[in-house]
Structure 1
Amino acid sequence: MILNYTRHNLFWLLDRIKGNTIKKLLNEITFCIENPNSIKAKQVKDAHLKRLIAHSVKTTPYYKPFGDATDISDFPVIRKTTIQDNFKAFQSKKFKDKTNFKVSTSGSTGVPFFLFQNKNKRHRNHADAIYFYNQSDFKIGNKLYELEVWRNHNKKDALKSWLQNIVQFDVSRLTEDRIKTFLELLKLDKQSKKTLLGFASAYEMIAQYLEKNNLVLKDLGLTSAIANSEYLNSYTKTTLGKHLNTTVLSRYSSEEIGIIAQQTIDSPNCFVINEASYHIELLQLDNDLPAERGDFGRIIVTDLFNYAMPIIRYDTGDIAKLGEHKNGIKVFTQIEGRKMDLIYDSKGNMMSSFVVYTKFYKYYHLLKQYQFIQQGEKTYDIKLNLQGDTFPFEDDLIADIKSDFGEDAVIHIIYVDEIPALASGKRRKVINNYKKS
């Protein structure tokens, strides 16, 4: 489409006028991610880390005591609460009076959170996004459908949306009528290449609707569907991909940091780690030693480009397993939900949230929503929002859950009319209200 081609060229023309800021960053990101073992890539990443550390210890009160540190491991692991409790101490004196940008999370883990980013960090995030969009078969100028909760604080105006070729589709209440409206938009859109970006929970509800109505839409021109903000389960990945005739990919990112890793067309089942913009560590679950290869470890991120509020060794609250793709590219072979929402069987053994998701696949045609909550050491609540009036498989579901969580598990099934989304529009499938000592 000529208009999309014009949009693409106009974007890069404007960047060239501004000194090729995004282009230069994109070239570096591409090289460092795709040639991780080259001497040049290692030198570039090492230089970024050293500059960040030198800047942090010289200009921020929090990191000043670590001026003699010789290695990244000499710095403490921090969490959201660390930054909240020492907010001013994390701000760089050098950037306090410069133009910075406030970024925040919705507090989906119960901890609302914000920090500041400097201008170059924003440019880096932009270049990161372009790189991973490219790896998802999306090019600037093509149509992008963003499925999110759109309100005054984040919604683009009509002109900007048109210029960027973006459709902002609100999923705060994704009823069947809203899903029909969305699918009609896709079918009526004559652009030959388009991509989806949205909440995994929204994708799941659309997948359930498509499967229930046996709809397969083959000629939509969808190059990919990228899920962000939430865990993408295998049912949604497979079912949505099949019914929309596209590849469904998962993005691991956060508002306060950026894109940490993402599945790509070339790596659809593993998350390519953004080593160009972040120093990533995987630490053991109960201490700050490196996790063994093949074991779950806590994801610890050092942001190499936020100089306004340097973030060194930040515990994201998520866990993953590390692996390797072709050319030595590091990947997460598996990412689990937030560490605080990991669940345990009746004997206190940690369980993968994936185990929970598999219990409900066979009942998706009967369910609008579900939620699994660990309330105590052996007590679990299951909330079900039904498609119809009855659920004749209570005994089967309870027995299936007990087979993994323990025969002495106490399981309550609770029927509800709605499982509301969080303020962000995200929906938590697995919740742990029990604190394991």
Structure 2
Amino acid sequence: MHLLNYLRNKSFWVIDSLKGCNIRKHLDEISSVINSPNSSNSLNIRKQHLENLLKHAVNTTPFYKSYINASSIMDFPVIKKTIIQDNFEQFRSLPFKNKQNFKVSTSGSTGVPFFLFQDENKRNRNRADAIHFLKCCNFEIGNRLFYLVAQLEHNQKSKFIPWVQNVNPVDVSKLTDEKITEFLDMISKDQNPNKAILGHVSAFETIIQFLEKKNRKVDNIKLNSIIANSEYLSPQTKSTLNKYFNTHALSRYSSEEIGIMAHQTIDSPKNFVINHASYHIEVLNFENDNPVKPGELGRIVVTDLFNYAMPMIRYDTGDVAELITHDNGNMQFKQIEGRKMDLIYNSQGQIVSSFLANTKLYKYYALLKQYQFIQQGKKEYEIKLNLQGDTFPYENDLIEDVKKDFGKDANVTITYVDEIPPLASGKRRKVVNNYQKKQTSY
């Protein structure tokens, strides 16, 4: 480790030690549980955290007080973001109202602002979660982290803190060719021997499109890993990042209001390691609140075990995943689809993976700046294309390819646009369902 980075690392843990080793204690427990989630010790820890959280919620929050006689978590209702928004004060724990809490907010994938409060212990748990999974991505605290973030002025409150943490924020609100060149030059000249990049998938896609268009080599850039968050990381984007940067491109499943719920790692580069240490996670049926079978798609429902300021029990994230169980009993997410409201359907009304919609565009990747696949009606599909050049000679091929999987009676149209604007969060939705009959509000 570079000397200055080493000192940053040691300073971080010395400060934590002076404060009572709060983050270190969390980190040790997180690593123990995640590395052996089904050991008797881990199961006891997980059970105790869940029981403590449920007891706290029913005794201190107006919303959950009527569930004081619940015998298990299954007796609690599944809640959505709108329920929290409409009953905000009812979710706040009374003893924590006068304590130091931290407001976390997100514009959300719907563009609707959403915020809640977290207590100090929850914040420390989130920090420990991040440290654990960064280590699983071949990155240590104190090393250089390039953070690709939209709306830098809004997100960056201080220049001193990023310097101490060795985080280099990079504004990707408008990634022009000049900005990408500047960014790549900055990384290549950086003297830190150990560094990684964290950022939105759409930013990475714009960068690799630039590399392919310019036929630029980046062999001189040495990275420990690339971590993509906030959006779906397609196998195509993942493999292209691996190819250009000769490192592991790994996906993080997290949210501002909750934290890191699952993560791909060096040892699990395809499947997502579930954060059983900090969350009780269920994958439930679309039509009811029953668990799905392994191999089936279902709704991701999360209970945050550590936010005592605003307990969130069985919170429907709006995202969809496929759960798999290994021979040793460990459960992982095989894939995470994104929001349930953006699931799409074939012309017969059957669910089609958004992954399949994305694959229809892979072969034309070099010709596109951006794309968006939209279901406008039961059998109506629109594909928006923002082209690299002036023409797209494969319209008929693309339409026929879509019909193969979405139905021969599907009505597919292609629209050419100059820009597909991002949401306020900086994300770009690649698959959208505007078909009101199937859409669910979150």
- Could you say whether these structures have the same fold, taking a TM-score greater than 0.5 normalized by the shorter chain as the test? yes
Q: How big is the shift at 1:278?
A: 0.3
Partner residue of 1:240? 241
What does residue 371 of structure 1 align with? 372
| TM-score normalised per structure 2 | 0.96
CA deviation map 1:392-431 (0-9, x unaligned): 1111111111111112111221111111111111111111
| 1:229-308 alignment runs, 5 A limit | 229-308=230-309
SS in 1 for 2:102: strand
Q: Displacement, 1:326?
A: 7.9
Within 5 A, what are the aligned runs for 1:123-138? 123-138=124-139
Deviation of 1:299 (Å): 0.8
SS at match of 2:385: strand
Matches within 5 A, 1:85-100: 85-100=86-101
Q: Indicate conservation of the 8 Å contact 1:342/1:350, yes or no.
A: yes
Q: What code does the residue aligned with 1:357 have?
A: N
Query: Amino acid of the residue matched to residue 371 of structure 1?
Result: Q
Q: Secondary structure at the match of 1:94?
A: helix
The answer to whether the aligner puts 1:4 opposite 2:2 as a matched pair is no
Distance of 2:330 and 2:23 partners within structure 1: 23
TM-score, with structure 1 as normaliser: 0.98
Residue 397, structure 1, aligned to residue 414, structure 2: no
Report the more deviating stretch, 176-185 or 78-87.
176-185
Post-superposition Cα deviations, 1:289-328, rounded to whole Å, max 9, x if no partner, equal: 1111111111110000001110000111111111245854
SS of residue in 2 equivalent to 1:318: strand
Q: Distance in 2 between matches of 1:380 and 1:38?
A: 48
The 3-state SS of whatever aligns with 2:140 is: coil
Whole-Å separation in 2 of the counterparts to 1:199 and 1:273: 20
Say what the alpha-carbon RMSD is for the aligned residues: 1.3
Report the 3-state secondary structure (helix = DSSP H, G, I; strand = E; otherwise coil) of the residue aligned with 1:317: strand
Q: Secondary structure at the match of 1:152?
A: helix
* Residue 241 to residue 409, structure 1, CA distance change in 2 (3 Å): same
The farther-off stretch of 326-335 and 381-390 is 326-335
- Provide the residue aligned with 1:320 in structure 2: 321
Q: Are the aligned partners of 2:251 and 2:263 in contact in 1 as well (CA < 8 Å)?
A: yes
Query: Is the partner of 2:363 in helix, strand or coil?
Result: helix
Name the stretch that deviates more: 170-179 or 129-138.
170-179
The CA distance in 2 between the partners of 1:240 and 1:262, in whole Å, is 17
Q: Is the CA contact (8 Å cut-off) linking 1:216 and 1:242 kept in structure 2? A: no
Determine the C-alpha separation between the residues in 2 that align with 1:415 and 1:321: 33
Q: Which residue of 1 aligns with 2:310?
A: 309
Alignment partner, residue 151 of structure 1: 152
Q: Which amino acid aligns with 1:17?
A: L
Q: 1:166 aligns to what?
A: 167
> Do the aligned residues in 2 keep the contact of 1:191 with 1:221 (CA within 8 Å)?
no
Equivalent residue letter for 2:120: K
Q: Distance in 2 between matches of 1:27 and 1:46?
A: 17
CA contact (8 A) 1:300 1:316 kept: yes
Aligned residues: 437
| Structure 1 stretches of 4+ moved >6 Å | none
1:217 partner amino acid: V
- Once the two structures are superposed, residues 151-185 of structure 1 have per-residue CA deviations (whole angstroms, 9 ceiling, x without a partner) of 33321433222211111111111122221111111
Please give the alpha-carbon distance, in whole angstroms, between the structure 1 residues aligned to 2:175 and 2:143.
25
Shift of 1:337: 1.4
Identical amino acids, percent of aligned pairs: 59
Q: CA separation in 2, counterparts of 1:308 and 1:58?
A: 13
Any unmatched runs of 5+ in structure 1? Answer: none
What CA distance in whole angstroms lies between the structure 2 residues aligned with 1:327 and 1:113?
Answer: 39
Contact 2:111/2:424 (8 A) holds in 1: no
* Aligned match of 1:429: 430
Distance in 2 (alpha carbons) for counterparts of 1:222 and 1:364: 24
CA contact (8 A) 2:225 2:250 kept: yes
Q: Using the alignment, how far apart are the partners of 2:329 and 2:20 within structure 1?
A: 32
